[in-house]
Structure 1
């Protein structure tokens, strides 16, 4: 969940002297560096936090804007106290501090302090951090990182550190993360924003704040203007009002990955900022970036728009042939162009929005990243006379796009888009060799993407197909109680895409071997991958042999629907605060036909069951019939009709899953007769 707000000062005049009536009282800081005592080592009551390898006792940060020489600065200060419970928590005593750099300027890490506290024979022993013991690493052209490790860390240690970051980049107000993979007893962040700067605030996450407030507080700073020639800069003492934005969370449980999530950053509670505007003289100036400006830069970028203007003769010639072959059927022409690019290049698994090489070189090497391949696809579609446009998006592991924050770094992937007369948006991606026209890879099903053209239209990234798993078993029961037969596994839609990818990345033999191991209780033999062609489902056939427990007993109990992978969901957590994001609607069907020999009759058939999730967004049907005295047919169908279910619907989803498992364990009861 993402919430965005912009706080704009309405007063026209700035640099005002504050009055006591306008200022509001500020709460005291929740932590003071160096305040650890022996009493802090008192054993804690058993709770979730003490079962974790470590926990944050307090994590406190502040950002203030202060005057400097010729410019204002952001001063960020963090004070943190942790308790290490077990050796597995030692890694939390290693701290990484990211810094931003650009145009020769670098944020500065200063006033680093640290102390490790241990209790020995009732005495508090302190070990000081050497502030010079820093490891410096450049991550990319705009980011570097300092790393330090607290000394003498043991099980039961309390570690504490504090540092300040001085930044000349006013737009780079520090973000703050309240949730971590270990519990947090208290996390608080305050931002002091003078009234001549306006920031857009974006909060992510689902857990509630215990404090979420905005106060008006006094603001004072000293600003020195830059020297001009022989004229020295003058010092000005500024007094005005500021907003103090304050967020806090208490007793935050450790964050754990759960099934069917996107990336943790979509769920962890955090706050982010973007500089929206300034007002120094009574006139507000909007500094928010505009999507139109981003497109204008992309259109002439050598690694994006300009890359598509340079010819790739091999593919463009074939595109002209396809244009002549399908003069009036634009959809068939688009499918043929997609197939052409899919078989011409191989995806190297790098998610990018910029081409890494000229598109002609991509064709020659037959290898490229997502931008190399899909910009090539757009170029080839255009050569075939089709109005294709690059589509910028953020993949599921990169996070949701904040649509009202025009920043190019939110995107990490390029696909292709076609708008054909009388048809909805047609989305294409050539990175998956057997992905049909109109389907995006599952990794791309994440909110909305933006067309990289003058319209800048947002396009929903919704699945056009389902995840379909269909299995048909034909079994025969022998007079001695042994089951033999075949099972045909069919995968359609996104299930077929996933299976074909696994085969492509390993081999058909490896894929069949893994499948056979999952069915090992049924002693599978002769695994066979049936002839595969789009758009038909991918099909596998296995020969089965299984001897049930107590096969020679008078009554035979056969839970025939309790088959491997019959229900791929395991919602163990009783409650869930995050949505369940499947990516696409899903359908699982199992049909088992059992032929009985002479000497057996059906003693008991499981009752029919139909269940629905409230609102009809999910449905399960279970039925057993006996078409003839010598045969039984069991059918189960699960349909999950939405790509995402809210946390409020999780209980119904989990209950449905629980009852399905119970139902599929119910046996068909057969009786031996003379």
Structure 2
């Protein structure tokens, strides 16, 4: 008998507490006439389809000299209208690697229609099932349920068996359509200890854990002596305890993207499992997950990561000297200030290497000479060359692993390198304890300003000895300053100048639009946003001066709604502020993630002609979010025939919780209402 079997059988002595088994929430084929009533399901009135029940059972079974993961799943969906027909075609992803593969078995499906009060069943035939190979590692099984019409119920079930024990299948509770009931159960034997991670913002209706009995059959190869194996196998029954878990969500709303979100994966309700340790011998548990220190050491040894930081390959067979070394050393002499030197090194790398747009943690070309010769590279190649060149310039620099906003948030308690998809550089500065974060991929960003895509929680600094976590804190805010100086004509027209300054991340965003579209198309888009404006002169200034705000200077005319009116209603502030509130939903289940603090300041100065008088000066307004996390202020002053209006909206946090959303939305509503208040002017005879 093998050592593995002896250790497993020793677990028979473990004490076992039993838990009462729960009945499954669904039974395949048991569809009742009442199930077709869409009015009984929350959210069905505004949805093309509704998941009535999605039930999965995860367990680990014995296999030949190992174990396998088994997922049994039953799903039932009500098709509400024709837009829901797409849900009658189902895709099941399958994975393979290193001789292991996921297999789908026991697939069955049916469509149910209610005809004259009776349920008619139409079975899915084998001809409706297709196998699609996506690439060497990924495939999927696709099938379509038959005879689907408005009001149909579709149902399917299958079993997926997998040899990948490290990461169990993710259970997704939330989908693009409402879910009435979603339930996942798992039985995980004591010799496999998993960590579970919940994602999303919908609460569990049920979440329980209990120790339950566990039995499985395990087929082991017999030893032939002298350490040799034979073709004979022996079947063993293994009995021990298992951790049984049950997770239920009820009435899960359809997922809808909202403004100011990162990737959808951060918000959809789901459950993940990662293997933490194995304990076939309870006295000698063996950790499976790595540590951040081990990951750092491994990355520094890899040719496609740490290799770009070396001056020779790991075997010493060839030089990996950077073609930029001599220039970097010269910069050290010309820039004694470390921060200025770091900015100069960043500019040097940008002059020699263009970012291809590929977000990657690893280099495709580890040879620095060839990389510079190609004059382009992915994120890892650009920024690892940046780290190398910073070191050549005499600066203490290290790479920092980052997960971009469209890749997902980092779980710091899970040491997995695949959580990251990007790398930036960190420079230690004696006068700045936090140091300086640099990215050479974005030519439109000022030195020390990370692209907005990188502002996603924390990054992991990689250095000998392990490194540490660094907050990816924005160095600047998103700031827009609008200054309008106008004169009112006798006929009610407005003439004057408008200067709009875009600072920080507002400047980075506008420079990006300007570079993408060109100045002419950029200004055309600006006019489309403000249809009342008639430009007589326009200019975009300081586009290449990255440390200064981008300036859009305009001379404009706004014609009156009617010529020389006796009473003029002038929505003055609305002409120069955003017309639409980005927060349309009454409630929100997810945080509002701006990435950086925002501020919008609009100043309008209006000179009145002799024959016009203000009926009433607009009232002042001051609104504060709880805890001082945001503010809106509005004031109006008049000196002689000159009126000045000042509006300031400040959002001082980068992220607002769902519980803070109502106050945030109300702040925007009240601000827009104030902007829409017309200035009332009377024309004297």
Q: TM-score, normalised on structure 2?
A: 0.92
Give the secondary structure class of the aligned counterpart of 1:507: helix
Instruction: Answer whether contact 2:577 2:602 (CA < 8 A) is retained.
Output: no
Superposed CA offset, 1:571-613 (max 9, x none): 2211122111111101101011111112122221101111111
Partner of residue 456, structure 2: 446
Give the secondary structure class of the aligned counterpart of 1:489: strand
Q: Say whether residues 1:457 and 2:465 are aligned partners.
A: no
Question: 1:616-635 counterparts in 2 under 5 A?
Answer: 616-627=628-639, 629-635=640-646
Question: 1:150-229 counterparts in 2 under 5 A?
Answer: 150-228=145-223, 229=229
Alpha-carbon offset, residue 201 of structure 1:
0.6
When structure 1 is superposed on structure 2, of 552-561 and 399-408 the one drifting more is: 552-561
Instruction: Answer whether contact 1:481 1:547 (CA < 8 A) is retained.
Output: yes
Partner of residue 4, structure 2: none
Aligned equivalents of 1:645, 1:39: Cα separation in 2: 42
Q: Say whether residues 1:80 and 2:81 are aligned partners.
A: no
Partner of residue 431, structure 2: 422
Q: Say whether residues 1:260 and 2:264 are aligned partners.
A: no
2:443 to 433, 446, 466: 433
Q: Say whether residues 1:541 and 2:541 are aligned partners.
A: no
Aligned equivalents of 1:462, 1:116: Cα separation in 2: 52
Alpha-carbon offset, residue 500 of structure 1:
0.9
Partner of residue 280, structure 2: 280
Q: Say whether residues 1:14 and 2:15 are aligned partners.
A: no
Instruction: Answer whether contact 1:374 1:430 (CA < 8 A) is retained.
Output: yes
Give the secondary structure class of the aligned counterpart of 2:242: strand
2:661 to 644, 650, 655: 650
Partner of residue 414, structure 2: 405
Alpha-carbon offset, residue 142 of structure 1:
4.0
Alpha-carbon offset, residue 135 of structure 1:
3.7
Q: Which structure 2 residue ranges, 5 or more long, are not aligned?
A: 1-7, 224-228, 312-319
Partner of residue 375, structure 2: 366
Aligned equivalents of 1:231, 1:515: Cα separation in 2: 76
2:27 to 7, 25, 32: 32
Alpha-carbon offset, residue 52 of structure 1:
0.4
Give the secondary structure class of the aligned counterpart of 2:511: helix
1:520 to 531, 552, 557: 531
Aligned equivalents of 2:589, 2:341: Cα separation in 1: 46
Superposed CA offset, 1:133-168 (max 9, x none): 444444455433222222222222211111111112
Instruction: Answer whether contact 1:79 1:163 (CA < 8 A) is retained.
Output: yes
Instruction: Answer whether contact 1:418 1:426 (CA < 8 A) is retained.
Output: yes
Give the secondary structure class of the aligned counterpart of 1:635: strand
Q: Say whether residues 1:470 and 2:470 are aligned partners.
A: no
Aligned equivalents of 1:169, 1:615: Cα separation in 2: 48
Instruction: Answer whether contact 1:518 1:564 (CA < 8 A) is retained.
Output: no
Q: Say whether residues 1:333 and 2:341 are aligned partners.
A: yes
Partner of residue 3, structure 1: none
Partner of residue 384, structure 1: 393
Superposed CA offset, 1:304-335 (max 9, x none): 11133254644222212211211x21111001
Instruction: Answer whether contact 2:173 2:249 (CA < 8 A) is retained.
Output: yes
Alpha-carbon offset, residue 567 of structure 1:
6.1
Superposed CA offset, 1:113-152 (max 9, x none): 1112223455533332234644444445543322222222
Instruction: Answer whether contact 1:470 1:490 (CA < 8 A) is retained.
Output: yes
Aligned equivalents of 1:571, 1:43: Cα separation in 2: 29
Instruction: Answer whether contact 1:197 1:277 (CA < 8 A) is retained.
Output: yes
Q: Say whether residues 1:233 and 2:244 are aligned partners.
A: no
Partner of residue 492, structure 1: 503
1:659 and 1:344, CA in 2 relative to 1: closer, same or farther beyond 3 A? same
Partner of residue 582, structure 1: 594
Instruction: Answer whether contact 1:112 1:131 (CA < 8 A) is retained.
Output: no
Aligned equivalents of 2:338, 2:139: Cα separation in 1: 49
1:362 and 1:91, CA in 2 relative to 1: closer, same or farther beyond 3 A? farther
Instruction: Answer whether contact 1:516 1:527 (CA < 8 A) is retained.
Output: no
1:136 and 1:418, CA in 2 relative to 1: closer, same or farther beyond 3 A? farther
1:52 to 44, 47, 55: 47
Aligned equivalents of 1:373, 1:461: Cα separation in 2: 19
1:174 and 1:468, CA in 2 relative to 1: closer, same or farther beyond 3 A? same
Partner of residue 302, structure 2: 301
Aligned equivalents of 1:140, 1:447: Cα separation in 2: 33
Aligned equivalents of 1:598, 1:501: Cα separation in 2: 44
Instruction: Answer whether contact 1:489 1:541 (CA < 8 A) is retained.
Output: yes
Q: Say whether residues 1:353 and 2:364 are aligned partners.
A: no
Give the secondary structure class of the aligned counterpart of 1:535: coil
1:435 and 1:17, CA in 2 relative to 1: closer, same or farther beyond 3 A? closer
1:156 and 1:100, CA in 2 relative to 1: closer, same or farther beyond 3 A? same
When structure 1 is superposed on structure 2, of 636-645 and 237-246 the one drifting more is: 237-246
Aligned equivalents of 2:580, 2:508: Cα separation in 1: 17
Give the secondary structure class of the aligned counterpart of 1:15: helix
Instruction: Answer whether contact 2:490 2:564 (CA < 8 A) is retained.
Output: no
Q: Say whether residues 1:504 and 2:515 are aligned partners.
A: yes
Alpha-carbon offset, residue 179 of structure 1:
0.8
Aligned equivalents of 2:265, 2:649: Cα separation in 1: 31
Instruction: Answer whether contact 2:541 2:552 (CA < 8 A) is retained.
Output: yes
Alpha-carbon offset, residue 565 of structure 1:
4.3
Instruction: Answer whether contact 1:26 1:217 (CA < 8 A) is retained.
Output: no
Superposed CA offset, 1:601-648 (max 9, x none): 222110111111111111111111112x22111111111111011111
Instruction: Answer whether contact 2:603 2:647 (CA < 8 A) is retained.
Output: yes
Give the secondary structure class of the aligned counterpart of 2:418: helix
Instruction: Answer whether contact 1:471 1:489 (CA < 8 A) is retained.
Output: yes
Alpha-carbon offset, residue 224 of structure 1:
1.6
Aligned equivalents of 1:204, 1:313: Cα separation in 2: 43
Aligned equivalents of 1:402, 1:132: Cα separation in 2: 43
2:111 to 107, 116, 133: 116
Instruction: Answer whether contact 1:595 1:631 (CA < 8 A) is retained.
Output: yes
Give the secondary structure class of the aligned counterpart of 1:540: strand
Aligned equivalents of 2:551, 2:208: Cα separation in 1: 58
Give the secondary structure class of the aligned counterpart of 2:202: coil
Aligned equivalents of 1:147, 1:46: Cα separation in 2: 28
Alpha-carbon offset, residue 534 of structure 1:
2.5
Aligned equivalents of 1:514, 1:599: Cα separation in 2: 36
Aligned equivalents of 2:378, 2:358: Cα separation in 1: 5
Q: Which structure 1 residue ranges, 5 or more long, are not aligned?
A: 1-10
Instruction: Answer whether contact 2:597 2:652 (CA < 8 A) is retained.
Output: yes
Give the secondary structure class of the aligned counterpart of 1:431: coil
Alpha-carbon offset, residue 526 of structure 1:
2.5
Q: Say whether residues 1:67 and 2:62 are aligned partners.
A: yes
